[in-house]
């Protein structure tokens, strides 16, 4: 089955947000870099997706003008097979990614990146609905604590657990980066 790694929004823009912490970053980077290295070694195409929106001013970290729409500094270098810019949660909306994947005969997607419950989850659901088989690499996604409506904290760990539960066996195979690479090699 022809496979492609989709690396979503793993960009420096997030370091500029007040919620950004390094707490889960090291573990994410280990998994994400292993996934990148494994895909490079296996000849699996890697698509890089960047999120760009809001005013086109230097003070907006999600604008090209800010200089922050670039890969996280700690990501291993690789030659992207394609790069897409998105302004919506799904990497498949208005980017041309769907056409590119279809033209290449890609049947299976490996989804990774930032944020677990937003762009990664939304892209996974959308891709599944469009007929792709999806491996969702939970350990190669990153998110941060959020607040419930009552002001209490919803931890990043709980967000990841919830995302895994709602995607599993409905929209994706929820797996580790290592498991996705094993499935690709097999």
Chain segment 69-122, per-residue pLDDT in tens: 999 999 999 999 999 999 999 999 999 999 999 999 999 999 999 999 999 999
- Checking if the pLDDT of 10 tops 80, the result is yes
Which long-range CB contacts under 8 A does 161-166 form with residues at least 24 apart?
Answer: 162/117, 163/116, 163/117, 163/120, 163/121, 163/138, 164/136, 164/138, 166/121
Topology of domain 3-185, per CATH?
A: Rossmann fold (3.40.50)
Q: Region 146-158: what's the mean pLDDT?
A: 96
Q: Region 145-153: what's the mean pLDDT?
A: 96
Name the band, by pLDDT with cuts 50, 70 and 90, for residue 1. confident
Note the pLDDT tens digit of each residue in 81-95: 999 999 999 999 999
Can you give the pTM of this predicted structure?
A: 0.97
The average confidence (pLDDT) of the chain is 97
Q: Which residue carries 């698509």 as its tokens?
A: 47
| Confidence (pLDDT) at 108 | 98
Note the pLDDT tens digit of each residue in 13-46: 999 999 999 999 999 999 999 999 999 999 999 9
| Confidence (pLDDT) at 186 | 77
Residue ranges of the domains in the chain?
A: 3-185
């Amino acid at each position: 089955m022809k496979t492609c790694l989709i690396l979503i929004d793993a960009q420096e823009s997030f370091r500029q947000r007040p919620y950004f912490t390094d707490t889960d970053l090291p573990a994410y980077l280990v998994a994400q870099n292993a996934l990148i290295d494994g895909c490079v070694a296996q000849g699996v195409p890697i698509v890089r997706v960047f999120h760009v929106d809001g005013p086109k001013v230097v003070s907006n970290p999600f604008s090209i003008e800010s200089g922050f729409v670039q890969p996280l500094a700690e990501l291993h270098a690789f030659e992207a097979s394609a790069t897409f810019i998105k302004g919506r949660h799904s990497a498949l909306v208005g980017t041309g990614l769907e056409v590119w994947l279809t033209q290449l005969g890609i049947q299976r997607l490996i989804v990774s990146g930032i944020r677990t419950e937003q762009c990664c989850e939304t892209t996974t659901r959308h891709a599944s609905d469009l007929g792709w088989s999806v491996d969702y690499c939970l350990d190669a996604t990153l998110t941060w604590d959020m607040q419930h409506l009552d002001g209490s904290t919803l931890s990043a760990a709980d967000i990841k657990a919830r995302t895994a539960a709602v995607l599993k066996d409905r929209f994706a195979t929820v797996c580790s980066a290592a498991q996705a690479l094993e499935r690709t090699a097999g």
